[in-house]
Structure 1
Amino acid sequence: MTGLTSIRTSRNSKIEIVDQLLLPHTTEFIEIDTIEQAHDAIKSMKIRGAPAIASLAALTFSAYLTRALQASPAPAFLSSPDTLKAHVLPLLDFLYSARPTAVNLGAATRRLTKTLQASVDAGKDAKTIAQDLIAEGKNIDGEDVGRNKEMAKQGGEWLINHVKSHDKTGEDLNVLTVCNTGSLATSGYGTALGLITYLHETGKLGKAYFTQSAPYHQGSRLTSLELQTLKIPNVMICDTMVGSLFQNHKIHAVAVGADRIAKNGDTANKIGTYNAAVLAARHNIPFIVVAPVSTVDLDIADGTSIPIEQRPPIEACLVRGALHPPSLNVHGEKEQAVVMITPSDLEGIYNPSFDVTPADLITAIVTEKGVAVREEGELVFDLSSVV
């Protein structure tokens, strides 16, 4: 099965991203030529998903250095290791500032910083150091698809066995997810949506349920499109319908992604995840977090130290979509519009992009290295086996 693509590259270092603000009605690729354009695309959510924004940052940084090496005359910052270091460190800091909650972005910039310092310490010249950074940036992007498939398999098999252990067949599993964690949020296949895809590919899935995920509607706009593309049976629900779904339908698990996981297992994810976790606990439904090792931040003890991004208040007042009934523009594409759904002078708008789910509400945390579960009676995770 072939999924959707969030980033595409060419041999001449050309980078394009699909503008996710226009999906699902219009598929438009935007060329990213500069560090500033990458920062804007991440901050404005033209591209989103913790792994995907880390890939874009790393690839754009690599492309920037590739153009510098090809320039004639060479830019001044390539004159020595010290001038190179002084030039690129602020660029990495700038990229990280685009979305600070997503630890993958920070992990990517720290990894590039570490490569820079190691190459400087090894006594390499500026151009060789730049080549090392280019290779590392491409590695950060290239590793994503393989690890996504591995964690999807690990999480999928764990869920099948978990259901079987409760005297059930492990067939026709219904799984709810929040936001979008598929190919559009990663370099391919996905994390939590990858788990659902794995269950579908192995014939174990009943239906995939997903929340609309307001206010950006990543579920109704993006997850719906991915599931349709993959021909996976699916059902959309409004965010406020999670409790009703659990009361009236058999749901075998909730699978979500993560933008940051603290040392104790507290997890920051798209706003609404905590709500789903509380309701899942009430209904004894396993709650599974699926994320790469790079999402685990062992430097913070618990979720209270995770920075929560506050989005502009206006974003909670607006909805973008296609006109209904459909109307086509001169290019044969559906006309789209942004409409305000609140009074124009509304005050006191609370619009965090993420919430934190405490570890004691999480059943399992899955990375490409395995599955961590809490020991009986423990309220926190030991993540040493999966990082």
Structure 2
Amino acid sequence: MAPLISIKSSEDKLEIVNQLLLPHTTEFIQINSVEDAHDAIKTMKIRGAPAIASLPALSVSQHLTRGLKSSPVPDYLLSRDALKTHIDGILAFLYTSRPTAVNLGAATRRLTKTLNDGISVEKEPREIVQDLIAEGRAVADEDVGRNKEMAKWAGEWLIQRVRDQGLDFSRGLNVLTVCNTGSLATSGYGTALGMITYLHETQKLAKAYYTQTAPYHQGSRLTALELQTLQIPSVMICDTMVGSLFQHHSIHAVVVGADRIAKNGDTANKIGTYNAAVLAARHKIPFIVVAPISTVDLDVADGSHIPIEQRPPIEACLVRGIRYPNSGESEQVQVMITPPGLEGIYNPSFDVTPASLITAIVTEKGVAVKAEGETSGFDLSPIV
């Protein structure tokens, strides 16, 4: 079966699959402006750290492509100063769409550098715009290749670790993941889910387990859809059942993605990841983080400085889906599962897993593990 995709783009047409409607309805919606891109990220029609970097970059490329074709000529093409003011404003606006995922900032910084480099050598505005269009598309295009690289690094590292420990995996490896990190969260293949896909493709995977997190979070539903599409044997569990799973089943690793990795290796990921890490440590199960280099934020010393997005309280009170049982209709309904007017709702999107609970961090450049005798932090320099 064909892999799922989150973004479709052409010369100046940009579409995303509305992830709020998945897995029951597949609907692509057009992104016609940077304001549309901002709204899609803010309302979580698109999600996943790599994907929410690709979409803004592509929306900037779309905006500038249309600008080059416009008549009369837009004011921002008349001078380098006007272009800088215009692009800086757009990038600053897009950066506000979601605060935790550092990939978004990495993408806007790349475009800022392209802009400033062009200005510093006194390129004409149209030439700088062409550079920006190419750079915006490159942000998205590079994602698939690096995802496959990190998935292989992570998969092979786990296989070797299991071998070194003398464990029997003749029937394949069992791996647990949290949230969605596949093609719908990236530009293709995936990060943590990419590792699971790699193990499946190389016939080293027995079963993938994935958690159902807080009611409104779509991660488990999207993971279910992706694993089903790829025909990967899998089991969904509630996040409160992870401890029971570890007690009664042989799990060889927990693998997760990341929205931001601090300099010492502390990692922000979807809420519920910290719970899984604590339980994995208790059961001596390796805990692996798989994420692109752009997710590593060397300007943040540790996890205490990672901004954690707080979602609107109402989202924790609602679930969306199709009626059950039904007669085949696909119309979606949204229901409230709490008493109306409930106060005191704690609803963070992410938590931070300390480096002390992480066994390995993987990027497209390789695998980082803690030095012999080190328990608290990582040296990430070889993989960034």
> What is the TM-score of this pair, normalised by structure 2?
0.98
Distance in 2 between the 1:70 and 1:169 partners? 62
Kept in 2, the 8 Å contact 1:116–1:129? The answer is yes
Partner SS for 1:60? helix
Residue 350 of structure 2: aligned partner: 354
CA displacement at 1:256 relative to structure 2: 0.1
**Identity over aligned pairs, percent:** 74
**Aligned residue pair count:** 382
Q: How does 1:316-327 map to 2 (within 5 A)?
A: 316-327=316-327
Structure 1 residues 301-324: Cα deviation after superposition (integer angstroms, max 9, x where no partner): 100110000000000000001111
Q: Deviations 1:274-333 (Å, cap 9, x if unpaired)?
A: 0000000000000000000000000111001100000000000000011111255xxxx5
Letter in structure 2 aligned against 1:148:
N
One-letter amino acid of the counterpart of residue 353, structure 2 = T
Residue identity opposite 1:156 in structure 2: G
Q: Contact 1:69/1:127 (CA < 8 Å) preserved in 2?
A: yes
- Specify the code of the residue in structure 2 equivalent to 1:126: P
Offset at 1:170? Answer: 4.3
Distance in 1 (CA, whole Å) between partners of 2:216 and 2:146 is 27
Establish whether residue 369 from structure 1 lines up as the match of residue 382 from structure 2: no
Contact kept? 1:182, 1:189, Cα under 8 Å: yes
Q: How does 1:188-203 map to 2 (within 5 A)?
A: 188-203=188-203
| Native 8 Å contact 2:180 2:220 kept in 1 | no
Q: Map 1:119-158; keep pairs closer than 5 Å.
A: 119-158=118-157
Q: Confirm or deny that 1:241 pairs with 2:241.
A: yes
Are the counterparts in 2 of residues 210 and 219 from structure 1 also a CA contact under 8 Å?
A: no
Match of 2:339 in 1: 343
Contact 1:182 1:194 in 2 (8 A): yes
CA positional deviation for 1:215 = 3.2
- The C-alpha deviation readout for 1:56-111, integer Å capped at 9, x for no partner, is 00000100000001111110111000000001101101101000100000000011
Aligned to 1:383: 380
Q: Aligned partners of 2:215, 2:49: CA distance in 1, in Å?
A: 18
Contact 2:360 2:367 in 1 (8 A): yes
Root mean square deviation, CA, Å? 1.0
2:20 and 2:218 in contact (8 A); partners too: no
State yes or no: 1:102 paired with 2:98.
Answer: no
SS where residue 185 of structure 1 aligns?
Answer: coil
The answer on 1:174 being equivalent to 2:174 is yes
Take 1:218 and 1:72, find their aligned partners in 2: how far apart are those partners? 42
2:187 paired residue number: 187
How big is the shift at 1:376? 2.5
1:64 alignment partner in structure 2: 63
How far off its partner does 1:375 sit?
Answer: 1.3
The equivalent residue for 2:87 is: 88
- Name stretches of at least 5 consecutive residues in structure 2 with no aligned partner: none
Residue 252 of structure 2 is matched in structure 1 by: 252
Which structure 2 residues correspond to residues 10-25 of structure 1 after superposition, within 5 A? 10-11=10-11, 13-25=12-24
Unaligned runs of 5+ in 1: none
